[in-house]
Amino acid sequence: MADYVKMWKDLGMDLENHDLLCQVLPTAVGDVFLTQENRPAAMDFWDLVISEVHGIRPAELIEEQKKGRKVFGTFCVYVPDEVIIAADGIVTGLCGGSQFWVPGGEAVLPKSTCPLVKASVGARLGRTCPFFRIADMYVGETTCDGKKKAYEILGEDVPMYVMDVPQMKREKDTLKWKGEIEEFAQKVEEFTGNKVTPEKLGEAIHIVNEKRRALARVYECRKSECLPISGRDALLMMQISFFDDPARCAQMCNRLADELEQRIKDGVSVVPAGTKRILVTGTPLAVPNWKLHNIIETSGAAVVCEEMCTGTRYFENLVSEDGDTLDEQFMDLSRRYMKTNCACFTPNRGRIDDILRMAKEYHADGVIDCSLKFCCLYDTEKYTVSRALKEAGVPVLSIETDYTDADAEQLRTRIGAFVEMLNG
Amino acid sequence: MADYVKMWKDLGMDLENHDLLCQVLPTAVGDVFLTQENRPAAMDFWDLVISEVHGIRPAELIEEQKKGRKVFGTFCVYVPDEVIIAADGIVTGLCGGSQFWVPGGEAVLPKSTCPLVKASVGARLGRTCPFFRIADMYVGETTCDGKKKAYEILGEDVPMYVMDVPQMKREKDTLKWKGEIEEFAQKVEEFTGNKVTPEKLGEAIHIVNEKRRALARVYECRKSECLPISGRDALLMMQISFFDDPARCAQMCNRLADELEQRIKDGVSVVPAGTKRILVTGTPLAVPNWKLHNIIETSGAAVVCEEMCTGTRYFENLVSEDGDTLDEQFMDLSRRYMKTNCACFTPNRGRIDDILRMAKEYHADGVIDCSLKFCCLYDTEKYTVSRALKEAGVPVLSIETDYTDADAEQLRTRIGAFVEMLNG
């Protein structure tokens, strides 16, 4: 760790406060991950990364910046990484998942803002996250009121570019989104000084597709009745994938998938036969938000899938690799991203269909639909999600939570009762 | 009132519950409006309308429906009434401003939704508002997460059309909004069976502009140091204008403006000289939400302007009347509506400029920036609004409230202290 202190200092971080954050993390990692038995050996990569999450990857990013590459920080699965990669830029996720950052966000945002937005703003303003310090440009999007308005405040502090995501999914909206991607590409070209050519974009599309395929392979293994990986471990892999180099991410996920596929052949499961399988749906779980998975999996059930941005919404659907011109490629990108069923769209029947399909594919015994407090979009959609699942005969528990520990006992009681009901 | 019972019954309303609502309103009207001294005589029109708010106008709408005209219910100043009027349709506002409807909304929406959205949904589902029963079609827009998702639930019960408002204000967004208006016109044509011609649209643009000019005349009078009308009365006029026939609205507002202009000449003010003048800014105040104005004006100050949807955002900026073709007219409409500075846009510097300008134009001694609870957009913008006002040396009080009476005393204390500070 000592090696990183100089780096953090050079990044203008608040070392004293950052130390407090660094002190908490190892205990959390120990409690949530290292207590598990029979973990896949390939989790060693993510254990290492998370143990020095503010060190290893930030140091790599700074090395690349020294070579002249630009780092783009993003908050949403709607920002097309492909465009950035095509211009030799680097993408890193910037979502904050710790209560540690919330008070800093509340200094400038209403308390009734979702914790993810408050934590992200707090991480930046409090100078306690290296990723927020390293990013040369932030790329936002208009997917929710909270982020949309928070970007205005962030934009006073950093170069901020916002993409206008359509709120509906008609053909003209796909065209509009294509236009936004095209305009973003111009911005990225200007900012990096590198041209986005059809060849470069084609390569970038392939790189990100490969990452999606690798993540999907791991998720495919979670469909098996013989469950080779815990929900916590799969979540950690997913969370880190937002920060990692995409090619290495694909390599590591494929390495993990190799092991998981072998485990399934060998009948190696991380849980006893008959353990109830939970599909979790809703708002993203940013690092180090492991609360929900930890409670579920220490209540006798197993999480088998996340219908979340930190989950299926990140890797489902590939971009066509057939486009030869930028025009075709931008349209291919738009088509793929517009397939992602975020609650920001209206109507959003596609998400209900996704959830029903995933409940089947992953052989879920029950669904826990969880949204972050004050996330109006996912919170409102709970009504239709819950109704559709009930109609399909799938038990569902709707919950709302934040980053504090205040509701942990209450959640444990409710989730425990839900699992008991499933077992009954 | 007896005459309306049959009408309400025919509308399928819940008469028993509706009676409860009808019992409360006269007291509220008496307390807020009739206790005022020296009111403009022309307020008689609005006193009459509000005294039978669920009777007079609904009966007119039903008469027009019998002649084959269609009634369109709207929730937002972004829906272009002109297009509906051009197709011989009628527009009526549908926003709910009473706590009475909130529990009904909470049955299907999260509690942490803004009271305006909850009340609107509750008014429809509870069958206690004739306007919600009469409307043949509801027209929504994607101006906030709360409404956007609530429309999906409303849409299960009524024909619902949603327009996608861009979230930014670049030239391409004005073009996009023009496209939305054009598509909406096609929908209105289909639904009414009437063609929108350049002549008809030209007339409609003129009608709505005349209404805007008349409302602006009343507001112009409020700029006078000799204040000829209370904020409560101006608010009532504004609120009813969303429900009224636009030509009659213009006529009545002009009649009121005539009287107010004479009052100014005669030096007739509704408040003693030196009464502190308050500009209120923020979220709309739907009928019968008079809480804020009532507290301010019974705390020794006067409201001189509302930078709100129920205020300047409704009438500022005219549509060009020079367009000869539908294409030109749709673009003229788009340009006018895109000038309205709702907090749904990012960035939204225009709203700050509006507020600073209005504070000057209306000679405001202070600003009360008020948002409805859980309105993420206006709540987040408070930060920049407040900072800009402080920089300009204008005292500002930021508050958040809902439709209950629970915070009335606390608000009274805070607003009283603010007024005292201004007087100090």
Contact A109 B383 (CB under 8 A): yes
Chain A residues touching B173 at Cβ < 8 A: 164
Q: Give the whole-number percent of chain B exceeding pLDDT 70.
A: 100
What average pLDDT does the segment A393-403 reach?
A: 98
Contact B343 A164 (CB under 8 A): no
> Are the beta carbons of A368 and A296 closer than 8 angstroms?
yes
Q: Is B113 in CB contact (< 8 Å) with chain A?
A: yes
Taking Cα atoms as reference points, which of A183, A84, A104, A187 lies closest to residue A150? A104
- State the smallest CA–CA distance between residue B184 and chain A in angstroms: 14
- Supply the pLDDT for residue B217: 98
Closest partner residue to A146 (CB to CB) among B110, B376, B382 is B376
> What's the sign of the alpha-carbon dihedral B24, B28, B29, B34?
positive
Backbone region of residue B366 per phi and psi (left: phi > 0; alpha: psi in -120 to 50; beta: other values): beta
Comparing alpha-carbon positions, the chain A residue that sits nearest to B140 is A346
What average pLDDT does the segment A239-244 reach?
A: 98
Per-residue pLDDT at B203 exceeds 80: yes
Spell out the SS3 assignment of A335-361. Answer: HHHCCCCCCCCCCCHHHHHHHHHHHHH
Q: Is B163 in CB contact (< 8 Å) with chain A?
A: no
DSSP letter, residue B286? -
DSSP letter, residue A108? T
Token code pair at residue A384? 């239709």
Strand partners, B370: B282, B399
Task: Centre a 10 Å sphere on the Cβ of residue B193 and count the other Cβ atoms it contains.
Answer: 10
Taking Cα atoms as reference points, which of B149, B201, B54 lies closest to residue B376? B149
The separation between the first and the last C-alpha atoms of chain B, rounded to the nearest angstrom, is: 48
Task: Centre a 10 Å sphere on the Cβ of residue B68 and count the other Cβ atoms it contains.
Answer: 10
Taking Cα atoms as reference points, which of A65, A69, A103, A72 lies closest to residue A88? A69
> Are the beta carbons of B191 and B136 closer than 8 angstroms?
yes
Q: Is B216 in CB contact (< 8 Å) with chain A?
A: no
DSSP letter, residue A41? G
Spatial separation of the C-alpha atoms in residues A125 and A154, rounded to whole Å: 8
Mean pLDDT for chain A overall: 97
User: What would you measure as the largest C-alpha separation in chain B, in angstroms?
Assistant: 62
Please report where in the chains the tokens 């690349």 appear, as a residue: A64
Please report where in the chains the tokens 């507020």 appear, as a residue: B355
Residue type, A8: W
Closest partner residue to B112 (CB to CB) among A109, A166, A379 is A379
Contact A374 B374 (CB under 8 A): yes
> What's the sign of the alpha-carbon dihedral B83, B89, B91, B94?
negative
Per-residue pLDDT at A1 exceeds 60: no
What average pLDDT does the segment A241-245 reach?
A: 98
Q: Is A376 in CB contact (< 8 Å) with chain B?
A: yes
User: Which residues between 334 and 363 in chain B have a beta carbon less than 8 angstroms from any beta carbon of chain A?
Assistant: 343-344, 346-348
What average pLDDT does the segment B101-116 reach?
A: 98
Chain B residues touching A153 at Cβ < 8 A: 380, 383-384
Spatial separation of the C-alpha atoms in residues A53 and A168, rounded to whole Å: 37
Contact B152 A348 (CB under 8 A): yes
Please report where in the chains the tokens 């097309």 appear, as a residue: A80
Extended beta strands in B16-141, E state: 71-74, 90-93, 137-141
Contact B348 A152 (CB under 8 A): yes
Token code pair at residue A213? 């395929």
Say if residue B39 is exposed, middle or buried (CB neighbours under 10 Å; 0-12, 13-18, 19+).
middle
Spatial separation of the C-alpha atoms in residues B421 and B396, rounded to whole Å: 11
Spatial separation of the C-alpha atoms in residues A261 and A258, rounded to whole Å: 5
Contact B376 A377 (CB under 8 A): no
CA separation (Å) from B70 to A195, A374, B73, B135? 54, 37, 10, 8
Which value does ipTM take for this structure?
0.95
- Supply the pLDDT for residue A402: 97
Spatial separation of the C-alpha atoms in residues B257 and B276, rounded to whole Å: 22
What average pLDDT does the segment B154-182 reach?
A: 97
Please report the number of interchain residue pairs, chain A to chain B, with beta-carbon separation below 8 angstroms.
113
At residue B2 the predicted structure's pLDDT band, cuts being 50, 70 and 90, is low
- Supply the pLDDT for residue B262: 98
DSSP letter, residue B325? S
DSSP letter, residue A32? I
pTM of structure: 0.97
Chain A residues touching B109 at Cβ < 8 A: 380, 383
Q: Cα–Cα–Cα angle for B122, B124, B126, nearest 5°?
A: 60
Contact B380 A150 (CB under 8 A): yes
User: What would you measure as the largest C-alpha separation in chain A, in angstroms?
Assistant: 62
As a whole number of Å, the CA-based R_g of chain A is: 21
- Supply the pLDDT for residue A3: 82
Contact B164 A162 (CB under 8 A): no
Q: Is B108 in CB contact (< 8 Å) with chain A?
A: yes
Closest partner residue to B346 (CB to CB) among A112, A142, A400 is A142
Please report where in the chains the tokens 């780092």 appear, as a residue: A71
- Supply the pLDDT for residue B24: 87
- Supply the pLDDT for residue A24: 87
- Supply the pLDDT for residue A330: 98
Comparing alpha-carbon positions, the chain B residue that sits nearest to A108 is B383
Per-residue pLDDT at B1 exceeds 80: no
Per-residue pLDDT at B309 exceeds 90: yes
> Are the beta carbons of A194 and A88 closer than 8 angstroms?
yes
DSSP letter, residue A141? E
Spatial separation of the C-alpha atoms in residues A416 and B298, rounded to whole Å: 53
Spatial separation of the C-alpha atoms in residues A393 and A370, rounded to whole Å: 19
> What is the total residue count of chain B?
424
Chain B residues touching A116 at Cβ < 8 A: none
Taking Cα atoms as reference points, which of B238, B240, B219 lies closest to residue B229? B219
**Site from A149, A174, A176 to mutate, B interface, most B CB atoms within 10 angstroms:** A149
What average pLDDT does the segment B273-298 reach?
A: 97
Spatial separation of the C-alpha atoms in residues A408 and B226, rounded to whole Å: 59
Comparing alpha-carbon positions, the chain B residue that sits nearest to A113 is B376
Q: How many helices (H) and strands (E) does chain A have?
A: 19, 8
Task: Centre a 10 Å sphere on the Cβ of residue B64 and count the other Cβ atoms it contains.
Answer: 16
Residue A19 CB contacts under 8 Å (≥ 6 apart), including other chains:
none
Residue A279: strand, helix, or coil: strand
Token code pair at residue A381? 């959609």
Chain A residues touching B151 at Cβ < 8 A: 346
Residue B388 CB contacts under 8 Å (≥ 6 apart), including other chains:
B352, B355, B356
> What is the total residue count of chain A?
424
> Are the beta carbons of B264 and B381 closer than 8 angstroms?
no
Q: Cα–Cα–Cα angle for B275, B281, B285, nearest 5°?
A: 100
Contact B152 A343 (CB under 8 A): no
Per-residue pLDDT at B348 exceeds 70: yes
Task: Centre a 10 Å sphere on the Cβ of residue A238 and count the other Cβ atoms it contains.
Answer: 25
- Supply the pLDDT for residue B54: 96
Spatial separation of the C-alpha atoms in residues A342 and A376, rounded to whole Å: 13
Residue A374 CB contacts under 8 Å (≥ 6 apart), including other chains:
A112, A113, A114, A115, A146, B112, B374, B376
At residue B133 the predicted structure's pLDDT band, cuts being 50, 70 and 90, is very high
Q: Is A105 in CB contact (< 8 Å) with chain B?
A: no
Chain B residues touching A379 at Cβ < 8 A: 110, 112-113
- Supply the pLDDT for residue A95: 87
Spatial separation of the C-alpha atoms in residues B210 and A227, rounded to whole Å: 69
Strand partners, A400: A371
Contact A113 B173 (CB under 8 A): no
- Supply the pLDDT for residue A332: 98
- Supply the pLDDT for residue A2: 54
Q: Cα–Cα–Cα angle for A124, A125, A128, nearest 5°?
A: 60
Mean pLDDT for chain B overall: 97
Please report where in the chains the tokens 């007291």 appear, as a residue: B27
Q: What are phi and psi of A368, to 5 degrees?
A: -110, 110
Extended beta strands in B246-402, E state: 276-282, 301-307, 366-372, 396-401
**Site from B76, B125, B167, B382 to mutate, A interface, most A CB atoms within 10 angstroms:** B167
> Are the beta carbons of B296 and B62 closer than 8 angstroms?
no
Q: Is A380 in CB contact (< 8 Å) with chain B?
A: yes
Task: Centre a 10 Å sphere on the Cβ of residue A22 and count the other Cβ atoms it contains.
Answer: 18
- Dihedral of CA atoms A309, A311, A316, A320 in degrees, nearest 10, equals 60
